[in-house]
Amino acid sequence: MDNNRLIVKELSKKIKGQTLVEPVNIELPAGEIMALCGGNGAGKSTILRMIVGLMRPTTGEITVDGMSWQKNRTEYANLIGYMPDQFHFGTGLTADETLRFFASLRNLSSDRVDEVLELVGLTDVRKKRVNTFSKGMQQRLLFAQAIIASPRLVVLDEPTNGLDPYWMDEFVQLVKKIKQTGSSIIFSTHQLSVAELACDSAIFLQKGQVVQSGSIAHYREKYGAQGLQGAFDEWFLMNKQQERKAEIS
């Protein structure tokens, strides 16, 4: 039996003749965590938006637990929790009211709201208006709404942006807890240390192309203690050498 929760086959995206993502293949097993690593413009967010169904692929197929968003859109959406990179909460709502709204969309009880607020460390500020929150606190609330329905697949776009070092460590522990429930997590990041601590596997992207992929164990076996940073350094050096050759020629 196929243990893969998320299967992406030959997924690509072109807009007005510009290629944002070259054909990419991804297999994420149930109960595992994967990072999409790369800088701005690497294609990370585009891939995640296609996975959650916010952007239509140019080519390719995506399934979650065998469900396709083209064929089973409602069932597919119910399997996913999504944290976008950019989101503006309603200015008049408290953290508690915000999460209760998202819970109501999924027909969840208030007990689940309490659990998730505790999980992300926002219980003490639950009655404060979200527009008074720091960037890091808003990130935690956004993360909370993504996991509130205990989705099979959690999709997080740059989830550690704006978090202080303490909450980056907490993020690693949180996704590991979610993993233990059987959920799978895929998230984008340019913070390699977070990816290495949190993930089972990682994909490096550059200009919409996969330049390296493998398990964290694979990266550590190949690059030793440097791990993902070693993989990035090797690619960066190779890329610079290619650029110099192109300039000379």
Segments making up each domain of the chain, as ranges = 4-79+151-248, 89-150
Q: What percent of the chain has pLDDT over 70?
A: 94
Helix (H, G, I), strand (E, B) or coil at 77: helix
With beta carbons less than 8 A apart as the criterion, state whether 138 and 162 touch. yes
Instruction: Give the strands of the sheet with 4-15, arranged side by side.
Output: 18-29, 4-15, 59-64, 67-68
pLDDT digits (tens, 9 = 90+) for 31-90: 999 999 988 888 999 999 999 999 999 999 999 999 998 888 899 999 999 999 988 887
Q: What is the DSSP string of 85-142?
A: SS----TT-BHHHHHHHHHHHTT--HHHHHHHHHHTT-GGGTTSBGGGS-HHHHHHHH
**H or E element: which one contains 194?**
helix 192-198
Contact between residue 42 and residue 206 where contact means Cβ atoms under 8 Å apart: yes
Q: What is the pLDDT of residues 139-175, one digit of tens each?
A: 999 999 999 999 999 999 999 988 888 888 999 999 9
DSSP of 219-234: HHHHHGGGHHHHHHHH
Reported as a pLDDT band with limits 50, 70 and 90, residue 249 is low
For residues 11 and 177, what is the distance between their CA atoms, to the nearest angstrom? 30
Burial 171-188 (b: 16+ CB within 10 A, else e): bbebbeebbeeebbbbbb
Q: Which residues contact 92 (CB under 8 A, 6 or more apart)?
A: 129, 131
Q: For 4-79+151-248, which CATH superfamily applies?
A: P-loop containing nucleotide triphosphate hydrolases (3.40.50.300)
What's the pLDDT at 2? 65
Is the confidence at residue 201, as pLDDT, over 80?
yes
- The lowest-confidence range among 120-134, 194-208, 222-236 is 222-236
pTM comes to 0.92
Q: What one-letter code names the amino acid at 191?
A: Q
51 touches 186 (CB < 8 A): yes
